[in-house]
Structure formats: C-alpha cells, structure tokens
Amino acid sequence: MTTQILDHSPAGSGGSPSSGRESFLAGVITVARLELRQRVRSTRWMVVLAVWTALLLLLTGLIRWSVLAAYDPTEAMVEDQAARMEAGRTVFGIVVFLVLSLGALVVPALTSTSINGDRAAGVLAMLQTTLLTPAQIVIGKLAAAWVVALALLVCALPDLAWAYAQGGTPVGRLVTVLALLMVELLVVCAIGLGWSAITARTSSSALLTYLTVALLGLGLPLAFALTVPLVSSLEKVTVRQFVYDSNGTTGSCVTTQETQSVFHSERTWWLLAPSPFVILADASPRPSAGASASDPLTLIRMGVREARLGRDPITDWCGPGATGGDTAADYAAREARRDRDRERLGVAWPYGLAVNLLLGGGLTAVAARRLRTPARRLPRGTRIA
C-alpha cells in the first residue's frame, strides 16, 4: 500500500481558507481511495455483492408471490384493481424493510474493524505519520465505507423497482425511501467506525456495532412495549358495548362508565421515533385519498401517530349502525375527526433522524479524537507500527 504525502497549508498561516478546505478535501479523498482500492482488490467483496444480489432477488420474488397469492383474483374489475394496488404497496413496504434489515446486518462489517484492524496490521501508524489529520483519516474511511454501502443499495435497486412496478406506490414514497436508506446506511457506517476507534479488539467493536444497530432498530420499540405498566393507570372511561336481553336474541348498544387500565402512550411515543423502520414509515408520503391503509409503511406511520395522540376517549365495541349507538354517518365522522387529529400532530421522523445523526456524528468525532497523536494512553497489547 502506498500513501500519498500531502502538503497541507494551515488556513491561518499563509494559506487562504479556500485552499485550506481544498487541502482538507484532498486528504479525505486520498484516504478514501486507499480504502476503496483495498476493498476492490479483495475477491471476498465481490462474493458478498453477488450473494447480496441473489439473496435479495430470491426473497423479493417469494414476497411478491406470497402477497399476490393472498388476494382473490375473482373480484370485480374495479375491486381487483384496488386489490392489486394494495398488494403492490404491501410488496414494496416489505421489500424496503428487507433491504434495511439486511443492510443493517452487512454494513457494520464495513467499518466495525476499520481502525482497530488497521492498527493491529500496522497500517494506521503509516497514515498517522503523514500530514493527514485525524479528521481526514476518519472522514476518508467513513466516505469509503459509505460508497461501498451505496453499492449494496444500487444492487438492491432492481428489487425495489420490481416491487414499485407492481403499482400503488406514489413516486414521492419511492424517492423518500431511497434518500433515507442512504442516510441510514451512513449512520450505520459511522457507528461502526466509532466503535472501531474506541475498542482495541475487532471482535468487541463488531459486537458493539451490531448491538447499537439492534438497539435502534428493535430495542427501542421493545422498550416502548415494556413501558406499558409504567405509564398505565386505572381511570374511568366511556365504553359502548352491545348488551343482549335475557333471551339472548335482541339487544342494543349501551354506554357505560367503567374503570379500566389506560395506557398513556403519548408519554413514551418518543422511544419509537429513532428506529430506522419508524423513520422510513413516518417520512413516506401517504397513499392517495381513499386508498387502503394495510401496507407496512402506512400501518407503522399511523400506529406511531396513534401512539403520539394517545387513547381515544370513547371505547366503541358496538360499531356503526348498532341500535342505541352511532349511526354509520356519525361513526364515520368520529373516525374522520380522529384521523384529522392524528395528522394534525405532524411528522415524528425528523426527531428520530436527528437522534441517529447525532449518534453517528458523535461517534465519528470520538473516532477522530482517538486518532490524535501523540496518544497519551493506549490499551495493553496495542500495536503502534
């Protein structure tokens, strides 16, 4: 491996700010090129790309076949068209989550051993003896890992396009999902890079990276579920339920006041926001008016907003048109008001994305700090050169 020696003129000592920025960028590009050349020369990387592409194609085909088989093709033409649109949105949502899940499994391997692995091989010391700054080394490694992660996303584009071609998915949803997938892959790369600088062993950094990614993806929704007993209390609620007469043949809807355990999800909904799955779903534009809300992206989007809104003040077990209950029109109007209240709350994904970016940016800053020379203290057994 060869390292290009760069002549960096400090911005405040004779060099202009623009030349300082160009010099910094040149150093980042140099490190990124070295990282990419090393990966391209590895046949193992080509095998990973081939397996990734084949696996996604196989799983997408199985998902598409399973979802379409679940819909009855004997419906009337208009209903069949609506069912096909609904099936298309369902296939697209599942494939999007599949790409995100598999990416969260593969991408950490790109950076979780980037720094401590180079330190153990004596490569990192060679870079640190050049005029490259710690920030240039870290950002260059991060940029190279992100480019490789984007290559995985490019290989997944045919699968996403296949799911999108089924119909029912707005163009805005496709564009939004692709943009956020790129950002989330960058965050995962930054998490792995940070842990590789903090820990001395590559096994420890890989494990901590996977644990952090799992915490964001599944741990926070699980924590939200575990908070149910903590934010629940016994309260009087309005309940509408159908009561039969003594003969059990006729009955009517009766409104009563009962004491029940009420889960105040509006107090802990923020635990869901940083999950990448929630970010993708909440940021995805809603399908056209009148479209079914049964696809994964829309269901999660509405579920998070329902949790943010809190419990409905009326528990209606009677349904529309029941004797003594709401008419069909009144029931629909109440559901429409609830839907407007959910939409009025606004989106939650910017808060979750901000947490993700702060976590990735913070770990990147820690990585740059750990590469400062001379180092005051190194873990026992750490190789210097």
pLDDT band at 76 (very low <50, low <70, confident <90, very high): very low
Instruction: Determine the pLDDT at residue 66.
Output: 87
Give percent of the chain above pLDDT 70: 83
* 20-49 per-position pLDDT tens digit: 667 888 888 888 888 888 766 666 778 888
| Residue 383 in domain | no
Read off the pLDDT of each residue in 54-70 and give the average, rounded to a whole number: 88
Instruction: Determine the pLDDT at residue 185.
Output: 95
Read off the pLDDT of each residue in 234-248 and give the average, rounded to a whole number: 77
Whether 145 and 186 map to the same domain: the answer is yes
Q: What average pLDDT is seen over the chain?
A: 82
Q: Which residue has the higher pLDDT, 134 or 338?
A: 134
Read off the pLDDT of each residue in 274-282 and give the average, rounded to a whole number: 94
**Any alpha helices (H) in the chain, and if so which ranges?**
17-40, 43-69, 77-106, 108-111, 114-121, 123-128, 134-165, 171-198, 202-214, 220-226, 276-283, 296-309, 328-344, 349-370
Domain count for the chain, please give it. Answer: 2
141 exposure class (CB count in 10 Å sphere: 0-12, 13-18, 19+): buried
Instruction: Determine the pLDDT at residue 20.
Output: 62
Whether 302 and 168 map to the same domain: the answer is no
| Residue 342 in domain | yes
Whether 192 and 303 map to the same domain: the answer is no
Whether 344 and 356 map to the same domain: the answer is no
Instruction: Determine the pLDDT at residue 312.
Output: 80
Whether 197 and 119 map to the same domain: the answer is yes
Whether 153 and 23 map to the same domain: the answer is yes
Whether 78 and 187 map to the same domain: the answer is yes
| Residue 241 in domain | yes
Instruction: Determine the pLDDT at residue 79.
Output: 53
Whether 30 and 130 map to the same domain: the answer is yes
| Residue 375 in domain | no
Q: Output the six-digit token pair for 137.
A: 């080394």
Q: Output the six-digit token pair for 25.
A: 């960028």
| Residue 377 in domain | no
* 145-189 per-position pLDDT tens digit: 999 999 999 999 999 998 898 887 889 899 999 999 999 999 999
Instruction: Determine the pLDDT at residue 248.
Output: 61
Whether 169 and 55 map to the same domain: the answer is yes
Instruction: Determine the pLDDT at residue 11.
Output: 39
**Looking at the predicted structure, is the pLDDT value of residue 321 above 80?**
no
Q: Output the six-digit token pair for 158.
A: 């045919």
Q: What is the pTM of this model?
A: 0.83
Nearest in space to 277 (alpha carbons), one of 247, 297, 259:
297
**How far is Cα 268 from Cα 366, in angstroms, rounded to an integer?**
29
| Residue 3 in domain | no
Q: Which residue has the higher pLDDT, 46 or 325?
A: 46
Range of the domain at 144: 18-211+351-370
Q: Are 42 and 110 in contact (CB under 8 A)?
A: no
Whether 292 and 365 map to the same domain: the answer is no
Whether 22 and 124 map to the same domain: the answer is yes
Ranges 65-79, 128-142, 290-304, most confident: 128-142
Whether 272 and 147 map to the same domain: the answer is no
Using DSSP, state whether 86 is helix, strand or coil: helix
Q: Which residue has the higher pLDDT, 117 or 222?
A: 222
Q: Are 114 and 140 in contact (CB under 8 A)?
A: no
| Residue 196 in domain | yes
* 191-217 per-position pLDDT tens digit: 999 999 998 888 899 999 999 999 999
| Residue 237 in domain | yes
Give strand pairing partners of 251.
Answer: 244
